[in-house]
């Protein structure tokens, strides 16, 4: 190689460090007292829950982040959330949790759903995006799925009409549809997103999903600079796996949101890496974005090979929600660097590391 091109290469290589993973200098002027530590309720949960929440605790400690956790032991078989846990969340307003294993069938309703309904966390948000350095079959994926969290097919209203015949009520209200549409468009506006897509099956469920669409259309009129379109859910699933780059923000009722979020998470790298949370007017609960498969296989738990990345990125979202942007940036940058390097990955990403090894790598990369 000629001498000139070598110098040019050196210069460019110095500038292109890590192809996009950059810590940048942000001028942020805090209010006096912004550094006071905040209490956050922590629910380790079942399965891989304790493993990944412990990962978050270690990283927060290493960063000296201004938060402290109030830990509570809750398991999926409990009939209801313990009142002291609800008390704590109402006081702190922010909660971080692992999954709670919902028994299939039986009479026990899901504690996850109970929590969301009691605190009226009406919006569930999952951000599915390609992580640099993690190759997948689909590129340029950056989808945010905003899912209505309190009604729809999850109303929990079922009854046996006659023996052998069961009715399950799917409830759609204008009130809930309107507020989730408002949240989705507000999210798009505040985060410089260009398009909101409503996912529905209104050709079949003309009244229920029709009401949902009506609400979305009304809200869309108030945001003329954001493109709005609609897509039927079956076509949507096909488009997701064929051409995911066409989607930006997606607003969906409850059940479709669950499926779309898990699909989008799967194409962009897996449920082990996607961050997400649930937010209401007064409270926010952060957890893994999409958790297909409930709380993880027992084998993963026994071998301590659960992927902590998703909950670490969710806790970065939580730090940003609590207005600690510098800590959130540091955490996200460290996690993305670890993923990009590729030395330290858990089984779901094709590697052999344990949870603790990933945590140590992230702590080492903190600046």
Residue 186 is a binding residue for a copy of itself (CB under 8 A): yes
What residues numbered 8-47 form the site for a copy of itself, per CB under 8 A? 8-9, 12-13, 15-16, 19-20, 22, 24-35
Q: Helices in the chain by DSSP H: which ranges?
A: 3-15, 49-63, 83-92, 111-118, 174-190, 208-221, 233-242, 254-268, 298-302, 309-321, 325-341, 355-365
Residue 126 near residue 261, CB atoms below 8 Å: yes
Cβ at position 52, least distance to a copy of itself in Å = 17
Cβ at position 111, least distance to a copy of itself in Å = 22
The encoded tokens of residue 135 equal 């190759």
Q: In 3-state terms, what secondary structure has residue 130?
A: coil
Q: Which of 98, 123, 169, 64 minimizes the C-alpha distance to 261?
A: 123
Residue 39 near residue 11, CB atoms below 8 Å: no
d(C-alpha 258, C-alpha 249), whole Å: 15
Cβ at position 30, least distance to a copy of itself in Å = 5
Residue 120 near residue 230, CB atoms below 8 Å: no
1 vs 165, beta carbon nearer a copy of itself = 1
When binding is defined by CB under 8 A, the residue of 111, 236, 264, 279 that contacts a copy of itself is: 279
The number of residues that bind a copy of itself (CB under 8 A) is: 63
When binding is defined by CB under 8 A, the residue of 238, 323, 342, 364 that contacts a copy of itself is: 323
Residue 125 is a binding residue for a copy of itself (CB under 8 A): yes
What residues numbered 68-107 form the site for a copy of itself, per CB under 8 A? none
The encoded tokens of residue 339 equal 């993923």
d(C-alpha 125, C-alpha 367), whole Å: 28
Cβ at position 272, least distance to a copy of itself in Å = 16
| Stretch in the footprint of a copy of itself (CB under 8 A) among 168-176, 249-257, 316-324, 340-348 | 316-324
Widest pairwise Cα distance in the chain: 86
| Pairing assessment for the beta strands 123-129 and 275-279 based on DSSP bridges | antiparallel
Cβ at position 215, least distance to a copy of itself in Å = 15
Cβ at position 122, least distance to a copy of itself in Å = 8
Q: In 3-state terms, what secondary structure has residue 349?
A: helix
Conformation bin of residue 136: beta by default, left when phi > 0, alpha when psi is -120 to 50: beta
Residue 153 is a binding residue for a copy of itself (CB under 8 A): no
CB neighbours (10 Å) of residue 228?
Answer: 21
When binding is defined by CB under 8 A, the residue of 69, 72, 129, 228 that contacts a copy of itself is: 129
Residue 325 is a binding residue for a copy of itself (CB under 8 A): yes
Distance of CA 210 to the CA centre of its chain: 27
Residue 265 near residue 128, CB atoms below 8 Å: yes
List the end-to-end C-alpha distance of the chain, in Å, as a whole number.
36
When binding is defined by CB under 8 A, the residue of 192, 299, 302, 343 that contacts a copy of itself is: 192
Residue 327 is a binding residue for a copy of itself (CB under 8 A): yes
Residue 179 is a binding residue for a copy of itself (CB under 8 A): yes
Cβ at position 2, least distance to a copy of itself in Å = 5
The encoded tokens of residue 239 equal 């488009």
What residues numbered 329-348 form the site for a copy of itself, per CB under 8 A? 330, 332
28 vs 206, beta carbon nearer a copy of itself = 28
111 vs 313, beta carbon nearer a copy of itself = 313
The encoded tokens of residue 319 equal 């730090």
233 vs 285, beta carbon nearer a copy of itself = 285
Residue 295 is a binding residue for a copy of itself (CB under 8 A): no
Q: Residues interacting with a copy of itself, by CB under 8 A?
A: 1-2, 4-6, 8-9, 12-13, 15-16, 19-20, 22, 24-35, 64, 66, 122-123, 125, 127, 129, 142, 179, 182-183, 186-187, 189-192, 225, 275, 277, 279-281, 284, 313, 316-317, 320-321, 323-327, 330, 332, 367
């Amino acid at each position: 190689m000629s001498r000139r091109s070598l110098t040019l290469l050196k210069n460019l290589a110095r500038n292109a460090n890590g192809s996009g993973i950059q810590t940048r200098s942000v001028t942020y002027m805090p209010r006096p007292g912004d550094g006071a530590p905040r209490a956050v309720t922590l629910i380790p949960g079942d399965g891989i829950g304790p493993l990944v929440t412990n990962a978050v605790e270690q990283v927060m400690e290493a960063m000296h982040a201004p938060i402290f956790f109030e830990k509570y032991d809750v398991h999926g078989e409990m009939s209801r959330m313990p009142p002291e846990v609800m008390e704590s969340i109402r006081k702190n307003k922010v909660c971080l949790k692992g999954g709670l294993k919902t028994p299939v069938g039986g009479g026990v309703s899901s504690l996850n759903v109970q929590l969301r309904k009691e605190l009226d966390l009406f919006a569930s948000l999952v951000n599915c995006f390609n992580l640099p350095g993690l190759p997948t079959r689909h590129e340029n994926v950056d989808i945010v799925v905003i899912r209505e969290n309190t009604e729809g097919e999850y109303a929990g209203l079922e009854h046996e009409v006659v023996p052998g015949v069961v009715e399950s009520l799917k409830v759609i209200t204008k009130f809930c549809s309107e507020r989730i549409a408002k949240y989705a468009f507000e999210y798009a506006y505040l985060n410089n997103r260009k398009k909101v897509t409503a996912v529905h099956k209104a050709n079949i469920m003309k009244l229920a999903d029709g009401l949902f669409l009506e609400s979305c259309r009304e809200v869309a009129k108030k945001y003329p600079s954001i493109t709005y379109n609609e897509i039927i859910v079956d076509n949507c699933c096909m488009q997701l796996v064929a051409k995911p780059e066409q989607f930006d923000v997606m607003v969906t009722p409850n059940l479709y949101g669950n499926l779309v979020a898990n699909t989008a998470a799967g194409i962009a790298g897996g449920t082990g890496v996607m961050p997400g949370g649930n937010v209401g007017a007064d409270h926010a609960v952060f957890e893994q974005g999409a958790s297909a498969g409930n709380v993880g296989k027992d084998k993963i738990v026994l071998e301590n090979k659960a992927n902590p990345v998703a909950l670490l990125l969710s806790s970065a979202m939580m730090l940003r929600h609590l207005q600690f942007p510098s800590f959130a940036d540091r955490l996200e940058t460290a996690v993305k660097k670890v993923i990009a390097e590729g030395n330290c990955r858990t089984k779901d990403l094709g590697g052999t590391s344990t949870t603790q090894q990933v945590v140590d790598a992230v702590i080492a990369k903190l600046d």
